[in-house]
Amino acid sequence: MDFKCVQDCSKCCIEREYYPRKKFGKVGVLILPDEKEMIEARAKNLHLDIVILPRIGVSYEKSNGPTKILAYQLMGRESNGNTCPFLDTEGEERSPHGGYKCRIYESRPLACKAYPVIESSSVTLDNKCKFCESCANTATNLNEELESLSKIKNKMETNAPFIWRYATGVGEKSDLNKISTGWVLEI
């Protein structure tokens, strides 16, 4: 079945997850370094306050932190990390499938264009996507999503031996005592 958004769904623009585990806090929308300036400019034009944190960094030595940032993340606007600041939940206009409108749809980040594809070598879809709940194994027509994911992978390619992940310190109130903030060495 061709992939298409479920009627009225906005789940992936609202619900953010703890990743890779609770300690790291909720992640934002992945932003590549060459997308960051454009996203900041779009927010400024729309008079939106946004928070962009680092997400993945690398270093060639085991140091106190990364020497290069491979990806940032656009944090949700709610204190628990949910709801992309570009999602228009107040206006009456809706996207073609009836979900809330993305205010920057044409220039949305590659991560949004790739979703729900989360792995391209052996095509894997995010089972948290509403469409994928029932049709993940039979989804077709995912060329644009696969192409976007492949662009992200190319841009994040690195031979640096040390990978750092940024813990956002953001999550549900009841989880805050389990969540860290700052860079954590992964490998």
> Where on the chain is the footprint of ligand SF4 (CB under 6 A)?
5-6, 9-13, 29, 84, 86-87, 99, 102, 104, 108-109, 112, 115-116, 129-131
Q: Which is nearer to ligand SF4, 93 or 157 (CB)?
A: 93
Q: Which is nearer to ligand SF4, 58 or 117 (CB)?
A: 117
**What phi and psi values does residue 90 have, to the nearest 5 degrees?**
-100, -40
Start-to-end CA span in the chain (Å):
39
Q: Which is nearer to ligand SF4, 13 or 53 (CB)?
A: 13
Question: What is the C-alpha separation between 55 and 121, in angstroms, rounded?
Answer: 23
CB of 147 to ligand SF4, least distance (A): 16
CB of 178 to ligand SF4, least distance (A): 25
CB of 28 to ligand SF4, least distance (A): 9
CB of 81 to ligand SF4, least distance (A): 13
Three-state SS for 98? coil
Question: What is the C-alpha separation between 44 and 122, in angstroms, rounded?
Answer: 39
Q: What number of other Cβ atoms are within 10 A of residue 45's Cβ?
A: 10
Q: Look up residue 32 and give its two tokens.
A: 């590549």
